[in-house]
Structure 1
Amino acid sequence: MNNERKTYYIDLGSGEISQSKSASTWNYQIEANNEEVTKLREYFDAMQSANWQGFMRAHVPYVQYHYDRENDANDHLLKEVYQMIHDLGDEDAKQHIEAMGVLNPDHNIEP
């Protein structure tokens, strides 16, 4: 296992993880090893799947957001991503995530 840390740039909206600072827009800079980047990619893949399931569920209009398991799963995954970015991120990433309050146990992520 390679524990060497490298710099990665994260675009949370697209789920993109890049080693190139100028390849595309990015929100957060992190230092991570291969295992951590793989875990972050798995979270993004799972979020994409949960988003697709949420899209399909959107055709059932009588289910409210806070009773929707797909949205609950996506919210949980998003909090996991924010926690991971906070743990691995530079000082700007840490401060931004702390200011958002998304890691507060009482904070609910809603649209």
Structure 2
Amino acid sequence: MSVDERKKYYVSVQAGQILEDQGAASYELEIMANNEEFNQLQVMFEDLSSMDNAITGHFNYEFGTHLSQTSDSQMNGGYDAILHDIYLFIHEHGTASTQKHVESMGLLDPGRL
């Protein structure tokens, strides 16, 4: 596949997966992406997973006797920002049915689409 050649990928936001094989696992959305775009989405999923782990650690730490310097809203805001970027990317690279589905979720600002 050339650098600019796009192919179809099957995406599960819930599982944080980008699949080449439609039957490999459950997926919710379809995108068309080249290698660079595939890697970009993969990094966003890794960032989301890292943030999820940080939030888990934050709440476990806060639950003990220690006080955290980072507020719950800051932690959740970071997670939400990454998730928003993922859905924006998926909308931009999605098939027509994927774009329609993402729009129906109401997560993105219609003025930015």
User: What TM-score does the superposition give when structure 2 sets the normalisation length?
Assistant: 0.83
Deviation at 1:67, TM superposition (A): 4.4
Deviation at 1:70, TM superposition (A): 2.1
Q: Deviations over 1:28-53 (max 9, x none)?
A: 01000011010000000000000001
Matching of residue 71 in structure 1 with residue 76 in structure 2 = yes
Residue aligning to 2:28:
27
Query: Greater share of helix residues, 1 or 2?
Result: 2
Q: Sequence identity, in percent?
A: 29
Give every structure 1 segment of 4 or more consecutive aligned residues whose post-TM-superposition deviation is greater than 6 Å.
Answer: none
Residue aligning to 2:90:
85
Q: Deviations over 1:49-77 (max 9, x none)?
A: 000010011132598xx843221111000
Aligned runs of 1:1-20 on 2, under 5 Å? 2-20=3-21
Which has the larger Rg?
Answer: 2
User: What TM-score does the superposition give when structure 1 sets the normalisation length?
Assistant: 0.85
CA distance in 1, matches of 2:51, 2:73: 11
State whether residues 51 and 70 of structure 1, in contact with CA within 8 Å, keep that contact through their aligned partners in structure 2.
no
Superposition CA RMSD, Å? 2.0
Query: Which secondary structure state, in structure 2, belongs to the residue aligned with residue 24 of structure 1?
Result: coil
State whether residues 82 and 97 of structure 1, in contact with CA within 8 Å, keep that contact through their aligned partners in structure 2.
yes
CA distance in 2, matches of 1:92, 1:32: 16
